[in-house]
Amino acid sequence: MANRSDFPWPNGCHGTVSLTFDDGSQSQLDIAIPILKAYDLLGTFYINPRGEDWQQKLQPWRGVALAGHEVGNHTIQHICSRNFGWGRAKTLEDITLEEIETDVVEAERRLQALIPEQPVRTFCYPCYQSYVGEGPTRQSYVPVIARHFPAARGMGEAANHPELTDLHYLSASVVAGWMSGSDLCGLAAVAPEQSRWMILAFHSLQQEPSSGRHLGATYHGSALPADSFRELCEYLARHRDQIWTAPVVTVAQEIIAWRQDRRT
Ligand SMILES: [Zn+2]
């Protein structure tokens, strides 16, 4: 087993977990935030400051940030692959690096205006996709994001190694609505087992219990029952001495400082 001092996790913790939430749904405000508060945990909420009335609509998220959670940048337009067939005006295949940068920078300007107390935040790739163009013209927009943020969350199987991971395309496990509390605890347990940073990506939650695991259930198709989420939070609180649970920006800043220390 590796020497624990080889890792940046504070207070002798063996691994790190970040709880992240995409798209700013009402159920996150109604269900996730009170449960996190009950267990004294902080999360990262990636929101889209869109529409004429974005400032008014996003007021609850200002309160979330002031409670210590990270409110992250998830772009304004949430542009994804054409292949979803959503019939939206814009798709990643059709836009340029300049267009995505303009969107992200304007989203950031709005979030700074909403929450001047939180000057640094991380980014989350809509639909976990980090490219523009297609085929011979396809190119990564990760370098664009790296110019503006200390870190960014994508999706991937392996939990993040503090030295080896690309901070601007962090791996995350997507939480499906059918997952039980013990499924979620099993994912979180990977962090101390492997001395890694496990990021979980949540979407909607629901008060009702799950209707069970069923074939064809999609990640976005069903909301996660509150009881499953509560069981995970209870587990993280109980294992606080082994697992450091913190917002993405907090962990990323810790890793950046640790990497710099190791180089000098
Ligand atoms: Zn999204």
pTM above 0.85, yes or no: yes
Radius of gyration over every alpha carbon of the chain, rounded to an integer in angstroms: 18
Helix (H, G, I), strand (E, B) or coil at 139: strand
Q: Ligand 1 centroid vs 154 CA: distance in angstroms?
A: 11
Q: Cα 259 from chain centroid?
A: 22
Evaluate whether the domain defined by 13-263 bears CATH number 3.40.50.10490: no
Q: Ligand 1 centroid vs 32 CA: distance in angstroms?
A: 17
Q: At what angle do helices 226-238 and 181-194 cross, to 10 degrees?
A: 30
Q: Ligand 1 centroid vs 202 CA: distance in angstroms?
A: 10
Q: Ligand 1 centroid vs 260 CA: distance in angstroms?
A: 32
**How far apart, in Å, are the Cα atoms of 24 and each of 27, 45, 51, 135, 216?**
8, 7, 14, 32, 25
Average pLDDT over residues 230-251: 98
Q: Which residue has the higher pLDDT, 130 or 210?
A: 130
pLDDT interval class at 87 (50, 70, 90): confident
pLDDT interval class at 105 (50, 70, 90): very high
Q: Ligand 1 centroid vs 5 CA: distance in angstroms?
A: 36
Neighbours of 134 (CB within 10 A): 14
The pLDDT assigned to 53 comes to 94
pLDDT interval class at 262 (50, 70, 90): confident
Q: pLDDT of 176-213, one tens digit each?
A: 999 999 999 999 999 999 999 999 999 999 998 876 55
Helix (H, G, I), strand (E, B) or coil at 221: coil
The pLDDT assigned to 5 comes to 57
Q: Ligand 1 centroid vs 126 CA: distance in angstroms?
A: 4
Q: Ligand 1 centroid vs 173 CA: distance in angstroms?
A: 14
